[in-house]
Structure 1
């Protein structure tokens, strides 16, 4: 929290500047009379308040891989800390945030599972506690998870739409969703939604960093080898998009 609060203190002045309204002068009508304009005798004696800019013009989506392998080497706890850090930073800076977890193949009837911890449409003071339910479960069908979240973000009015995936491994789910087929599905999803204005970042915290980098591309890849630095690095990365 001290790191998050420090970053928020540095960020907020920029947001306040962007939010500040100004008056456009030389109007025939408006809410403010400009006495110094009378000399021009053009009847444009008023100033009208400009509406505040949409700010911050950023919405953040955070996708957490809840595959079973996330339970190894402290990855899940690091992911939770990072998610909490992002959530608290977004709350302090009033940035809309969407946080979903996902897994696959819990059962034959439940091939894909999405857990909405923080929803854009239903912000709740209890969201920060709900994030503690993030846990390692089964497999991961990354392409569908990204597609579901990207579709939600694409409908948002904010100018910058950032979707971050926290994962420790390559996609793997039942019925051959693995290898080149899964990689092709993910690349297609990323390309499709980048055309719709979604910016993707992959935060890799496991042994498959090279594979994840190959899927997302080096320009969208964050190597989070040092799990202790992960929360602060992720928040700083989001701050750059403001």
Structure 2
């Protein structure tokens, strides 16, 4: 049987993109399992009907995928199978910003799969949205593609280096080893499992800048309000 009879070229590209975001998934094994599930030849039309539940079932074999593949990566992989491999046209517009515009602000990265949403896994999101967050303003200053990190020897180290000018990275999910690599790059990972609009999350961060919890106070280089009463007692 010829390659053309097994899978069309556009379908092969979709599967390759899906496999890329599924970490250790072998592309050939994924093609074989999709072929068993969907029937040959594998076409764009068949891939467009694959659901998240279908892909979870396909990935359930030990030879295909690690048992801890996260839900965010599976959802993104399904979007690739559907042909939604790139949404550059849906990228939010950047705000005007020059260094020093927001004194005392934080630089924050957000793992994003779609539009201006916090809906990405650290190790598989196609981009990080980068914001400057001040007490009275939030500005989107950059959208950094993670494509360059995919060919690195250690993808998670490369992703951490991509945002190492940020103090915080918000993610929908992140594994322990990846979190440690982000911390070594001086980027504090914060998980928001429910995801949501990026700016809504950043507004919650903005609301505590004047009375930061200990972890945020350390990043800001100030004393946490919750600890100030102990300092006052010692001075008395």
Identify, as 1 or 2, the structure richer in strand.
1
Larger radius of gyration: 1
Could you tell me the TM-score, scaled by structure 1's length?
0.28
Could you tell me the TM-score, scaled by structure 2's length?
0.29
* Structure ranking higher on relative contact order (CA contacts 8 Å, 6+ apart): 1
